[in-house]
Amino acid sequence: MAVIHLGSISFSSSMPSISSPSLKHPFNFNKNKPLIVAAMSDDPVREWILSEGKATQIKGISPIGGGCINRATRYDTDAGSFFVKTNRSIRPSMFEGEALGLNAMYETGSIRVPKPYKVGSLPTGGSYIIMEFIEFGASRGNQSALGRKLAEMHKVAKSEKGFGFHVDNTIGSTPQINTWMSDWVEFFAEHRLGYQLKMAREQYGDPTIYERGQRLARNLGPLFKNVVIEPCLLHGDLWSGNMTYDKNGEPVILDPACYYGHNEAEFGMSWCAGFGGDFYKAYFEVMPEQPGFEERRDLYMLYHYLNHYNLFGSGYRSSAMSIIDDYLRMLNV
């Protein structure tokens, strides 16, 4: 098994790409380090911690609750603590996407995210990711700091390639297509709304939501009149379960579904994020509010309602349909 070092993250070179076998990652290869060839360890997590993790002793291993897709574990060592997620049923490509997103956000030096270290395969099947362990404080804290730091990330991290990301990744457990496109409205219509609508038709045999949703997707242009849209780095799945505060009260964001998109799309999960007035005030001081922001809010929520419909069933269908029908009336199409 060869290991390729991308910046400070290690990936197995045998890992299948979600997007393309010849990915161009946003990090430079470390030319001073040759490829490391080694046999699959019986416990690759432990092996990494005791070698590249610089630990000589693992003092404790304890499970951490909260996740519904992966198993989370804390490893305490004489070199500090590490956070490890494992999943016995997925290939490493899912964690590769997460690691690339975490690293992209980490390198902005804006809002705090756990630094990713290693992604690999488990010998009995499945995969793992090792990252920095952050000691959390209160789950709710300074909303002004959260809004300001999130806006700083959006302001400094832009892509010259357009809208998309270096790999496809997942939103929850749903594939999220990130093929680069130069036009945001087309990207959102095809890779966000269109993909979810096709899933709903295939999974539930739901032609109504598909046909009305596609009619909306074809007519989004007027909602973006006089709007400057830049490809900003987005967390992509920002709800209350994916944001917290460290022991010093600094905001921390986790479990991303990163891509470069319109900054307003970051608020698509606001219906379960708890963003308040202080959050938006601080955010717009750094990233000024654009014309028509309020008219577009439900559009970005629609993507996540559709995803919840596809993931969790019919309880979310009415919310998605209501948004679609409201926009069809508004746009008179």
**Whether residue 237 lies in the annotated active site:** yes
Exactly one of 78, 168, 206, 237 is catalytic; name it: 237
Q: Measured between alpha carbons, how far is 302 from 292 in angstroms, rounded to an integer?
A: 16
First to last CA, the chain: 55
Neighbours of 173 (CB within 10 A): 14
Question: How would you write the chain as a 3-class SS string?
Answer: CEEEEECCEEEECCCCCCCCCCCCCCCCECCCCCCEECCCCCCHHHHHHCCCCCCCCEEEEEEECCCCCCEEEEEEEECEEEEEEEECCCCCHHHHHHHHHHHHHHCCCCCECCCEEEEEECCCCCEEEEEECCCECCCCCCHHHHHHHHHHHHHHCECCCCEECCCCEEECCEEECCCCECCHHHHHHHHHHHHHHHHHHHHHCCHHHHHHHHHHHCCCHHHHCCCCCCCEEECCCCCHHHEEEECCCCEEECCCCCEEECHHHHHCCHHHCCCCHHHHHHHHHHCCCCCCHHHHHHHHHHHHHHHHHHHHCHHHHHHHHHHHHHHHHHHCC
Catalytic residues: 237
